[in-house]
Amino acid sequence: MSALCGCRATAISFVGRRAYLRVSTTSLRIRNLSSPMANVNRRVPDADQYFPLNDPPIGTAFPEDIFPQNAKLPLLFQPLTLRDVTFKNRIWVSPMCQYSSDNGHATDWHVVHIGGFATRGAGAICMEATAVVPEGRISPEDAGLWTDSQMEPLKRIVKFAHAHGTLIGIQLSHAGRKASTLAPWVHSKPGGTYRANTWTARKDEGGWPDEVYGPSDVPFSKDYPKPKAMDEQHLQYVEDAFVKAVERCKEIGFDFIELHGAHGYLLHEFVSPLSNLRTDAYGGSLENRLRFPLRIIARCRETWSKPLFVRISATDWAEGPEQGPDGEWKQWGIEQSKLFVGEMKKLGVDLVDCSTGGNWVQQKITVGPGYQVPFAEALKKAYPDYPIGAVGLITDPEQAESYLRDRKADVVFLARELLRTPHWPLFAARKLGAAVKPACQYERAFADLLVPSATNA
């Protein structure tokens, strides 16, 4: 079946449990079957071990002159270029904490977890929130990039993704006042068999409850550590740590970086008046609350030449209006988010990944399919030509396609749905009638995608 990579497929016949492609030798595109290499199971060039070559890369739409159904290619499978980096499609893996690192070091769990997405058609993978300082981890088992020894395990993952034609990035993070907490399944066992009386990870549990920092000394809740307000020296320390992590990303070989400014972690804490109660140059007015996050973004942009993203929470989901009658901002919301995005655009951020919530313990959210997309849409309307990513219970291919078609977003980030259905990009192609390349080893499971058709099925 690997011959499909270089020729016109005209039909599929099934013999026993194997599917064979009958091909026309008059329409060769990539390689000539009469050449000496025609029957060689080609390997990925420059890989440090043998991997079959996928040509075109997994998750890429086939050319329309071979597969006429791709003449009207769904937007999900159209490429997107940001800062000279071309993403093969617009179905991207959202960063998902795994709570499975060894003192910040990635393990074989991450190789399998991330590698699975790299071989199943996603256009890009963003690795989980990765702390730039040890006390910036969410939990004791969170990923980190504060020391050189953490680079090698990540290089292995990046090399694997690249060998399979998938772009990969990383989300750099500092948890702020939500640091030193328990992994979710440690705090609450499935089925309600156990629930801890606190989210705080104590010292004897690997935590650092006395070394948690935020913009102010206000804890997220009574069950979380009480943070220390960061002074100028600590602000500089964290800013420099972000830059050092970016430098390590260069050596590791990541294709893009996302800065985590959402979900109630440090950068989100600074921008929201609910968590930032400072009275100095970093608190009070919107300009002051944005000052430290923009400092970090600017330094990272200066250091990193490839695509730079920022994930934001567009609202705190707190009760009451975002702005009072007196013009004072009461909570973080979409209007301030628009202004924040405008400043990031000036700094050269290439894409804003729009999420919501996580900073107000009493938040009330009506959860449903695409429940966060209206916030991405609002940003897209404010900046029509600026790339925006949408997240939030995106599960159906037609739903996802409609967000791009209606210009509510430019890409979709999926998380839980990809955990349930890692081959979701190929299932989406099937449902939308597109012909997309599966991994060579998995072609037999997606034979219907490999049949040219005159119409979109």
DSSP-derived secondary structure letter, 82:
E
* Closest of 304, 301, 392, 401 to residue 354, by C-alpha: 392
- C-alpha–C-alpha distance, residues 264 and 266, integer Å: 7
Between the alpha carbon of residue 95 and those of residues 203, 353, 358, 456, the distances in Å are 27, 11, 15, 32
Quick one: tokens of 38?
């025609």
Cβ neighbours for 9, distance < 8 A, ≥ 6 positions apart: 21, 22, 23, 66, 450, 451, 452
Give catalytic residues, as residue numbers.
Answer: 265
- C-alpha–C-alpha distance, residues 260 and 127, integer Å: 12
- C-alpha–C-alpha distance, residues 445 and 401, integer Å: 24
DSSP-derived secondary structure letter, 110:
H
Dump strand ranges (E) for 251-293: 256-261
Cβ neighbours for 86, distance < 8 A, ≥ 6 positions apart: 79, 80
Dump strand ranges (E) for 2-132: 8-15, 18-24, 80-82, 85-87, 91-93, 124-131
Helix (H, G, I), strand (E, B) or coil at 441: helix
